[in-house]
Each structure stands twice: as C-alpha cells, then as structure tokens.
Structure 1
C-alpha cells in the first residue's frame, strides 16, 4: 500500500511543531511568553515525520508529514519536496490576522508547484484555546463560504494545548485522499479481503445514531459478548468483524461503528459506501434520541445513499437499553410500526446491550433481510450446491 504524503504549511509561529508533536505522541508543553524566545528556535528547513494512521480496525496507513517552515514560503527549493504530495494542510493562528491573510498565498504557491488538481487542501485554525480572534471572522457559515471560494475541502478548529481535532483532522484528510485514489483506481481499501470468492461473502453493516445511545456496546456484545459500564465516546470510526454462518457458508460481517458527533456529518458518505445494511440506534429512555437524532441520521442516509437496482438498502431502527418491566412509551409496538412506516425504516427492534437481550436475534434478522435484498442468497446457494457436487 502506497505511503500517503501530506504537506503541513503556514507562517512562522502558527503551531505546526506542536501539532506534529501531538500526533507522534509527545506532550505539548506550554512555554511562558517571556521565555519563549530563549527556549524555542525557528525551523529553517523542511523535515518529514512518519506516522501510522488507523482508518478502521482492518486498515492502517503509513503517512509522511512534510512540515514546511514558515520562512520558506515562495522558495522554489521546496518544489522538489512537494511534487508527489497527496494532500495539504494550511495552518493559521486565530490570534494573529496576518497568518490568516497568508493562507491564500500558501495555497497558491503549493498549487503552482504541484501539478495534481486532485490534491485536497484542509484549513486549520490553530490555538483555538486562546479565544482571541476578534479580528478574524470564524463564523461557521462564513468559513464554509470561504472554503468553497478558495477550494478547501474542509476546515478544522485545532488546539495542541487541548488536543482539539489534532488526530481528527489528519484522519479526515487521509480518508479524503483514499477516496481520490479509489476514484483514480490507484488503490482499493474498502476491504482487506482480496480474492473474488471471499469478496462475495463479505457484508458490511454501518451503525449510526446519537452519542451515548450504546452503539459500541451493541456491537461489542454481538462480536465478543462483552460489555463495559464505563462510557467513552467513539472518536471517528471503528470497525469490528465477525464470521457467521448462513446455510453452512461462512460470511465475513464487518460492522462499522460511526461516531455520533455532528462533526462527522460532512464525511458520512465515506462510511456509507458499499454498505449492505444500516442500523440507527436510539436510547429508549431518551425521546430526543429518536425524535430528533434518529430522524436526522435517517435524513442524512436518504440524501447520500442511492438505491441498488431500485431496492432500498435496508435500514433498521434499534431501540437500545430496553427494559420490558419499565414499559417505555417509546417501545410501544403499534406506535413504533407506524413510525417506521412513516420514515421508511425496514423494521424496529428492541435490544439491551447491558442485559444481552435480543442482540443475536436482531443481527440475525438484519442479516437475513440484507441477504435477500442484495441477492447474496443466490451466491450462497450456488456455492452450497458446488460443495455437494
């Protein structure tokens, strides 16, 4: 798998060194202003930092980050270093308007030196912990228009002090590069399963929903029958795999666990691709996770996922943390059936990851529908016949 090469550029003092130190696992050290000049020195030459980025449980990428010092802007010497770059991050300091004004200059220089029109650019507004940016308009709507006008794929608020969006920004850029490479048929990372026979047996489920609804707990209960009381929000995306048998034929089921943070809405199309079924999870004890969040995710799906041969990809509504003794209003059978019909869910299923209630039955039902919907059953039946010959 080819190494991904990413440029990190920006004016002097924008925080590129601190950003990289966080990525390679070193702690960020705050220096007092009066001692800063004595304890730090300007970087005067480009240097490369090699790291590994985990895309999901089955895919890791080797990434080379070429950090260009601020004093080298416009220097033709750097051209030989950036010709084969796959992506670029342009950093500015939100407390220093001059570094923001230099963003367009940096992007113009890089684009003029790099012939690839497909190279994505990400904009990083760094030092967001300082909150001294009155002279820079960072209104989300304005920044969205700014990025569109200047051909930035996305922008992130970052802070090395608070470890804000450091890993997320590089992770998203890598995913963007993967998508571009796939479209150019350079690499294919959708599955580690390479031979065609096994590819027929691979199925992909995507689990989405609001934070705290128990998506990860449901997946882990199904995959390895484990459950943790402590809660830690999923950062980005995770992927767990389990081999199950359908009519004595093994099927490799990959279950993608997508973070419920709204930040990820702009990138969900990357996770939805090639899915065989979707699970939208809500908490039966929190009506807002159904009435607001679940419908928001369903709308996102409907906008980004196309039907396959005029058949909708099945989407199941999953009510987690179900306790029949409480008789929650949200789990009333008739009302939930009506809700599913109104919003075009395939079916509603109650589960409890904590109590290990209905987890296996739910996934079995979803798998059956997914197989029927995508005609995988014919492939399984054909292979079964060949085994008996």
Structure 2
C-alpha cells in the first residue's frame, strides 16, 4: 500500500543532514516474455502476433490499465525497436505497451515515464512491489529492463556545485560495495564525471556512461522545477535547495532487481532496497580519511531507521496554469484592458469583459484547442478541483 510516512525524528533532530530525505522509484520499463515452451512452438509470424496480443490483453486486465488510464488506442510513439503498440487514455505523460510482430525474442515491452508511473501507483494505491506482484502471470515471464531510483534531499547541507568540486579535485571518491563470502568491503570505482554549469555554478552532475548498466545523475531539482514551472513547483518553492540523486539501473542489474522487488513485503523493505542500491553502487567517501560524506551518512541512517522514507511524488498538470499566467502577465491582455478602463471607465471595462465572455461562449474551438482538451482535461481537473482552487495556486 502507498504511504508517505515521515518519521518525526527526521524533522526534529538537530543536524541538517537529518532533514527531509526521501526515496522513490522514478520510472521503469518492463519486458514480458512468453515461456520458453511457447516460444519453441512458434513457426509463423501470425502465431507470435496472436500470442503477443494475448500477453498484452492479460497484462491489461491484471494491471487495470483501462480503469486507470482510459481506453486503449493505437500508439504512434513507440519504444525504440518496437513497431506495434497501444497507449491508454489521453494524457500528457508517456505510457505504452508494444511488441514487434516479427521478433518474438523482444517480447512485449511496457514503458512507464516517471509521471505515468506516479499517476498509476497513486490510482491503484500501490508501490512498485505491489504492481509487479499483481501483474505476474503464467502466460508470460516478467523482468525489468530499466528502473530508476530517486533520493530527494529537500533540505541538504551540501550543494551540487560543491560535490562536483570535491569529485573533480579528488577530495571525494566514489566506491562500490563488494560482498566476498559474507564480508563487505569498499573498492574505489573509477567513473566518468560530467558537470553542467549555469552562470559558473554546476547544477547537474553525471557519473558513469549512458551505455553502462548503472548511471547516476545528481542535480539541483529545486531550481530546475522553479525555472521550468515544473509539475512539482509547489514542493520546489517550499524547498528551493532540493537536490535529487537519480540512479538509472539497466540490463542485467535491472533483471536482478526484478527478483528482489518481487520479494518485497512492505514499504520499509522497498525503501531499504532503494537505499542499499545507492550504497552498493555509489558510496561517497573522503579520499584521505575514508569517512563517508554527509549524504552517504544520511542514507545509512535512513536504512537503520524504523520507518520508511518513501515519498511518491505525483505530478500535477500545470499547462493551463502556465497559459493563464502568460495571459495575465506577458500577453498584453491586462495592459489593453487597463487602457479601456482609463479611456471609458468601469462601464467600458465591464462592457469589454462581457464582450470577451460572450465571444468565448460563441467561439467554435479549433483542432488545436480540442486536442489540448483531450490530453489535459482529465488531469487538469485532478490537479484543480474548482476554478477557485486554480486561482489560489496561480
């Protein structure tokens, strides 16, 4: 079950490193493979197509896709390598179920973007382990081909720029944890470091290669959300220094995590799996003293805590909000209406607003408007229950 427990001690303890740190699963890609026995029976393209459609139907039923997202329709935006697939409902986020009619070895792919996964898990009141456990079937074998883990430090006592400087100058090193016959040890992990600066300050770091099984991005999430008026803007405004550690886990490592997640029984076990993955793959320590950094210390303390630091972040559809703000601030609308007010007073302004209202009511919406409504209407109404709620947030 989805919970957002925040152990009060995290908010009370004196040191800054104990303030508001949360874990989450960001996005995932799942592959459904037909059992080997079924594959050996395939001799024609039509047989695989029929089996693939049956797998898609089985998954759709077990996952309640129509109930959560809406009716299925042919997708024009397919995952790389796949040529036939469907999406569900009308949303701005990406979700797709697809297969290749001539390549049964590729199986059926299920791809959730970060927003789609958060939306789905909230609707089902699930965590990722609940989802994977619920969609298991005798018709297919499932495994992750990619999963992203997040760690959000809402009130960090460190900066992305500072981490970059320490890594670049060798003050801090990245280690990987090894387990030899039950004995854990740390080994220095040479990683490719990239930093991206804005106005001379590094705001985003990449550790590793996009082609490797694991890659870590550390970035200033608060500033990113504020600059973009992102879907988590409200949280970013409360925590402008918010820093995110985002681990991309693919291929064989993602396969291994499938088995581990399927064994998870509660939120605490899931959060510990996420946290331990960061410790095992990206353990940061000072090169000379070998003491771990404050952010690695925080992860270790969260593992030893009794409660779960899971915090599913559900994105809001803020597209209309952006358009409304533009209408009020940058479009010239308010300036024009003010000119009407000065020239003809309140009567003139009332008449102008009445004329605009009547024009809107009589307007025949174009294709662009109708497309927007299909994609945004349902999610916007979930973000803002009433127009008064919308105005308060604007």
Same topology, TM > 0.5: no
TM-score normalised by L of structure 1 = 0.26
TM-score normalised by L of structure 2 = 0.26
Task: Kindly indicate which of the two structures has a greater share of residues assigned to helix.
Answer: 2
Larger RCO, structures 1/2 (Cα 8 Å, 6+ apart): 2
